[in-house]
Amino acid sequence: MESLVSTLAKTQNVETRNGRFTFIDLFSGIGGMRIAFSRQGGVCVFSSEWDRYAQKTYFDNFDVLPQGDITQINAHDIPAHDILVAGFPCQPFSIAGVSKKNSLGRETGFQDKTQGTLFFDICRILEAKRPKAFLLENVKNLKSHDKGNTWRVIQESLNQLGYEIFSQVIDGQGFVPQHRERIFIVGFDRQRYGNFYNFQFDVENQKPEKVPVLRDILDKAVDKKYTLSDKLWEYLRNYAQKHKEKGNGFGYGMPDFDGVTRTLSARYYKDGSEILIYQGEGKNPRRLTPRECARLQGYPDSFKITVSDTRAYKQFGNSVVVPLVTAIAGRVVEKMEELDAEENQDHRW
């Protein structure tokens, strides 16, 4: 299966239509970053994603089958591009991921041999192809992981490659009705542009005038299969009460219809506890449907969901807030074009 996927991906024709810029989509998941950069006029010339279910969703929506394991792809085989885009795996750096791996006696961060080192695949592609700019996305606490050592290695690696980097933790709230903080790292090629400039993410003024709230993304009629069973609902209530008595804040989340939700996670398929929807007195709450999860992440309703509910929950939980990334993409492209114009002006002189 892996060989077939790889062969099919390599034989696909790269888009040749004219665009504002070209980009590649690494660790592409189901294509949230692709949508964002395409909305800013970009043409995606390469994508890579190892999970076969995410590959299916990606193919069903973009008619492109991402190539597989990035560690097995020769950087020189990747097409030239203006911007590298990557939401690289966050499990080695996330609080939940670190806790889980510590409990199993496994290493985390860059010592994790299966995921932590994937950041260096980004580095080798940056070195081989030297795009003008890049955008990376990861979990909020990337900077604090391993007492700051992980962030230090990332900064040093990108600096050594000759990229001027800027970073900021940004909450998706305001673009979607979800509290979702992620770190975004932007870089521009110092060999091309130097470093006598600044970059501001400045996405606040791009939020919609009407603040999105939970009720905006909810379906009017929902299948009863999404309602929690009596057994699960009792378990969640007992679990929450137990932790409340201990002074902890753990427990299920049931947001106000005119408010925002907690962060949607890849584990949502297990019990839906972080975001439960109130259904009235005498009735158990329900999970969000996969389509509602898609909306919570800012995906359009035209986005096709062609996998099981379990897979869909995982995919949307691992994805990005599309309208937020679209806003950041716009700022990156604007800055790149501004620097290109200055470079051309210098050459004329």
**Which of 12-26, 83-97, 310-324 is predicted least confidently?**
83-97
Beta carbons within 10 angstroms of residue 156's beta carbon: 10
On the question of pLDDT at 169 being above 90, the answer is: yes
Q: Name, in order, each residue with C-beta under 8 angstroms of 41's C-beta and a sequence gap of 6 or more.
A: 19, 20, 21, 333
pTM of the model: 0.88
pLDDT: is 151 or 83 the higher one?
A: 83
Contact 112, 92 (CB under 8 A): yes
- Would residue 167 be called left, alpha or beta, if left means φ above 0 and alpha means ψ between -120 and 50 degrees? beta
pLDDT: is 7 or 117 the higher one?
A: 117
**CATH number assigned to the domain comprising residue 253:** 3.90.120.10
Confidence band of 110 (pLDDT split at 50, 70, 90): very low
**Tally of structural domains, the chain:** 2
Q: What radius of gyration, in Å, describes the C-alpha atoms of the chain?
A: 21
**Which of 26-35, 64-73, 146-155, 233-242 is predicted least confidently?**
146-155
* 262-283 pLDDT per residue, tens: 999 999 999 999 999 999 999 9
Confidence band of 24 (pLDDT split at 50, 70, 90): very high
Quote the pLDDT of residue 96.
52
Question: Sign (positive/negative) of CA torsion 253, 321, 314, 146?
Answer: negative
Verify that 231 and 312 share a domain, yes or no: yes
Contact 150, 109 (CB under 8 A): yes
Order across the sheet with 133-139: list the strands.
42-47, 21-26, 83-86, 133-139, 181-189, 163-171
* 205-261 pLDDT per residue, tens: 999 999 999 999 999 999 999 999 999 999 999 988 887 766 666 679 999 999 999
Verify that 31 and 122 share a domain, yes or no: yes
How far apart, in whole angstroms, are the C-alpha atoms of residue 35 and residue 70?
A: 21
In angstroms, the Cα distances linking 308 to 60, 296, 311, 314 are 14, 18, 5, 10
Q: What mean pLDDT, rounded, does the chain reach?
A: 88
90 tagged catalytic: yes
Q: Which pair of structure tokens corresponds to residue 230?
A: 């009596």
Verify that 197 and 218 share a domain, yes or no: no
Quote the pLDDT of residue 244.
73
Quote the pLDDT of residue 320.
97
Verify that 138 and 45 share a domain, yes or no: yes
In angstroms, the Cα distances linking 77 to 74, 80, 81 are 5, 9, 12
Verify that 238 and 154 share a domain, yes or no: no
Query: What is the bridge-based pairing of β-strands 21-26 and 83-86?
Result: parallel
Written as one letter, the residue type at 125 is I
Confidence band of 113 (pLDDT split at 50, 70, 90): very low
Task: State the average pLDDT over residues 298-316.
Answer: 98
pLDDT: is 46 or 118 the higher one?
A: 46
The percentage of the chain sitting over the pLDDT mark of 90, rounded to a whole number, equals: 73
Task: State the average pLDDT over residues 294-299.
Answer: 98
Verify that 142 and 184 share a domain, yes or no: yes
Quote the pLDDT of residue 112.
47
Verify that 151 and 233 share a domain, yes or no: no
Q: Name, in order, each residue with C-beta under 8 angstroms of 240's C-beta and a sequence gap of 6 or more.
A: 250, 251, 252
Quote the pLDDT of residue 322.
98
Query: What is the bridge-based pairing of β-strands 42-47 and 181-189?
Result: unpaired
Verify that 167 and 108 share a domain, yes or no: yes
Range of the domain at 98: 2-206+320-348
The percentage of the chain sitting over the pLDDT mark of 70, rounded to a whole number, equals: 84
Verify that 120 and 193 share a domain, yes or no: yes
* 54-97 pLDDT per residue, tens: 999 999 999 999 999 999 999 999 999 999 999 987 655 555 55
The active-site residue out of 44, 90, 123, 293 is 90
93 backbone dihedrals φ, ψ, rounded to 5° = -110, -10
Confidence band of 349 (pLDDT split at 50, 70, 90): very low
Verify that 331 and 229 share a domain, yes or no: no
Would you give the distance in Å from CA 159 to the centre of its chain? 23
How far apart, in whole angstroms, are the C-alpha atoms of residue 261 and residue 240?
A: 17
Closest CA to 164 of 140, 190, 196: 190
Quote the pLDDT of residue 45.
97
What's the length of the chain? Answer: 349
Question: Sign (positive/negative) of CA torsion 276, 278, 284, 289?
Answer: negative
Verify that 291 and 338 share a domain, yes or no: no
Verify that 341 and 279 share a domain, yes or no: no
Q: Where are the alpha helices (DSSP H) in the chain?
A: 2-11, 32-39, 52-62, 95-103, 118-129, 149-160, 190-193, 230-245, 268-271, 290-296, 309-317, 322-348
In angstroms, the Cα distances linking 163 to 156, 159, 218, 288 are 10, 5, 42, 41
How far apart, in whole angstroms, are the C-alpha atoms of residue 297 and residue 322?
A: 6
**Which of 25-34, 96-105, 165-174, 312-321 is predicted least confidently?**
96-105
How far apart, in whole angstroms, are the C-alpha atoms of residue 341 and residue 284?
A: 59
